Amino acid sequence: MTETPEFELAIIGGGFTGLTAGLIAARAGLNVKLFDRMGPGGQLINIDRVDNYPGLPTGIAGYELGPAALEQALDAGVKIDYGEIDGLTFDGEHWQLITNTGVVTAYAVIVATGSELAKLGLDGEEELHGSGISYCATCDAEFFRDQDIMVVGGGDSGLDEVLVLAPVVRSITLVTRGELDGAATTVNAVRALENVTIHCNTTLTELHGTAQLEGVSVIHRENGETAHLKVSGLFIYVGLNANTSLLEGLIPLDTAGHAQVDIMMATEQPGLFVAGDLRAGSVRLLASCAGDGATAAVAAERYIRSTLG
Ligand SMILES: Cc1cc2nc3c(=O)[nH]c(=O)nc-3n(C[C@H](O)[C@H](O)[C@H](O)COP(=O)(O)OP(=O)(O)OC[C@H]3O[C@@H](n4cnc5c(N)ncnc54)[C@H](O)[C@@H]3O)c2cc1C
């Protein structure tokens, strides 16, 4: 018999899924450690308004819901570590989580590492992040007050961010590689804005500026016309990438990197659960993340109790 692990349950990811899992597991009496590399909340920080979470008919800002969920998890007894997990291994009995300061052990692990906003992949994108380029209108709109800016992405996320930015900036050029494909009400609200110009079937090809973004080049995907547009801000919403690296080689992933789990969020590895945006088949809503987190916590508790006999 190896040594008793440091924690009964470790949770990787402190988005809405991980915080819910922590709350439910700690209230069930488990000794829970939760790791997040950014500070809890995950994608909640990008949401200006949540209107579709049951029980909150007047809505709530994502950046208010995150701290509230964190406080509730802490009150329940969850211990939080603001650190990144770099690796995950199983010795046949316990799980080992590798951090840059050492190894943490647990009987069971819930991976809720969610997704990250995708990058355009253009030269200069990383260097200009924070110097004209942003992935969060709620966080950064005020820096661009009365300026001419561009939003890339015609899905719900991009359109929502246009609605946040429009009252603050002077003008927005909205560029999308296809057509606008968000919810009809959001598309209509964006089309009604006087300071927004929409360019469909258009792709960004180049970023201009070294210390600060000065403009971009675009190409029309059908007629091949190119243009150079002078903008001081660029907000990018071109999809999400699953944070999947910890699971590679451990369990089957689909082509987008989402993990296959059963209805209790269990994977084929004993004591390893995956929940929230990261699991295959998730509808990627806060309501489903709460359900996934709660389910994984109950399943992990049953697994741990059966392991302990
Ligand atoms: C702009 C936008 C608007 C949205 N609006 C709505 C809405 O109105 N209503 C709705 O229901 N849903 C909405 N969603 C979807 C919803 O926000 C997500 O489904 C949900 O937040 C996902 O939660 P999660 O906990 O599964 O993942 P995430 O929120 O992605 O959290 C994952 C966490 O894991 C951490 N992490 C990742 N890797 C590691 C690692 N190796 N070590 C430590 N920590 C790690 C990250 O730092 C992050 O905090 C929106 C999403 C976006 C982007």
CATH code for position 143: 3.50.50.60
Residue-wise pLDDT tens digits, 237-272: 998 899 999 999 999 999 989 999 999 999 999 999
Residue-wise pLDDT for 6-18, tens only, equals 999 999 999 999 9
Q: Which of 86, 52, 111 is nearest to 300 (CA)?
A: 111
Question: Among the atoms of ligand 1, which is closest to the Cα of residue 43?
Answer: 29
Is the Cβ atom of 135 under 6 angstroms away from ligand 1?
no
E strands along 46-179, which residues?
A: 79-81, 87-90, 95-99, 102-111, 115-117, 133-134, 148-152, 171-175
- pLDDT tens digit string along 22-43? 999 999 999 999 999 988 899 9
pLDDT band of residue 44 (cuts 50, 70, 90) is very high
Ligand 1 atom closest to Cα of residue 285: 11
Q: Give the pLDDT band of residue 299 (cuts 50, 70, 90).
A: very high
Q: Is residue 1 part of a domain?
A: no
State the average pLDDT for the chain. 95
pLDDT, position 46:
80
- The pLDDT score that the predictor gives to residue 139 is 81
d(CA 221, CA 194): 25
As a whole number of angstroms, the distance between CA 85 and CA 88 comes to 8
Give the Å distance between the CA of 66 and the centre of ligand 1: 10
Residues of the domain holding 142: 119-236
Domain check: are 44 and 60 in the same one? Answer: yes
- Are 296 and 277 within one domain? yes
Pocket test for ligand 1, best of 151, 286, 288 (most atoms within 8 A of CB): 286
Among the three residues 210, 236, 262, which one is the final residue of a domain in this structure? 236
Are 98 and 27 found together in one domain?
yes
The reply to whether 206 and 246 lie within a common domain is no
Query: What was the pLDDT predicted at 2?
Result: 63
The count of structural domains within the chain is 2
Closest atom, ligand 1, to C-alpha of 115: 30
Cβ-contact 139, 45 below 8 angstroms: yes
Cα(55) to ligand 1 centroid in Å equals 20
Nearest CA to ligand 1 atom 14: 285
